[in-house]
Amino acid sequence: MDHVIQIKNPCIPLEFDLSRPLEVEVGCGKGRFLSNRAEAHPECDFLGIERMLGRVRLFDGKCRRRGLDNVRILRLEALYAFHYLLPAHHVRTVYVFFPDPWPKKKHHSHRLFGPLFRSALWKRLERGGKLEFATDHREYFDEVCAGFADDGRFERVEPMPRPREVWTEFETMFREKGLEINAAAWRALDGDDSPLEPLAIPPEAEPREGIPRRS
């Protein structure tokens, strides 16, 4: 089966079986983490969001070989996907591991995390649903934590344990080098459930990667 979602109309939300839980990885890369999790949890549906076509094809091939029928892959900007295409308050967990930190100050506006993404994220998470976040970039980690600390729709909780077999390729490399891994998680609380405003992002402020560079 083809695991890659083909978008025929970008204005129509994607269809999911709302009787099954849904987990989403932003920047799923070649699918090492998500394929292992999908295999361990056949009762749950999984969606990987990835922009790089080569990685999408590799992940699709991996799903075919392993016979995973509970995984789909979407090649699209994460911000757009969360804002328009995912069902409201249905996602159980969102994973964002090792996003591009855009370290130069003049490029900080390209980072994924910001008010627009936090609002779209909250709109898609079920009440009590979680965001799992990890990065090797301490300054970016502190910035993301500060943004969530000022957002009353989220509560910080303990991050999930991630055994070695589900580390991403980049996490494996970083840990083997002894680099610091910063991880945090937040749970969605009750909040103002007003509709999201249409996206209107100036080109210089658009998070062009939309997804992590590292997988």
186 pairs with which residues across the strands? 131, 156
User: pLDDT under 70 in the chain at which residues?
Assistant: 1, 8, 10-11, 102-104, 106-108, 110, 201-215
Number of domains, the chain: 1
Q: Which secondary-structure segment (H or E) carries 94?
A: strand 91-97
The beta strands (E) that lie in 119-165 are given as 125-135, 154-157
Q: Is residue 214 part of a domain?
A: no
Q: Is residue 49 part of a domain?
A: yes
The identity of residue 134, as a single letter, is: A
CATH of the domain at 40: 3.40.50.150
Based on the residue annotation, tell me whether 100 is a catalytic residue of this protein: yes
Identify the active-site residue in 60, 100, 192, 193.
100
Q: Is residue 188 part of a domain?
A: yes
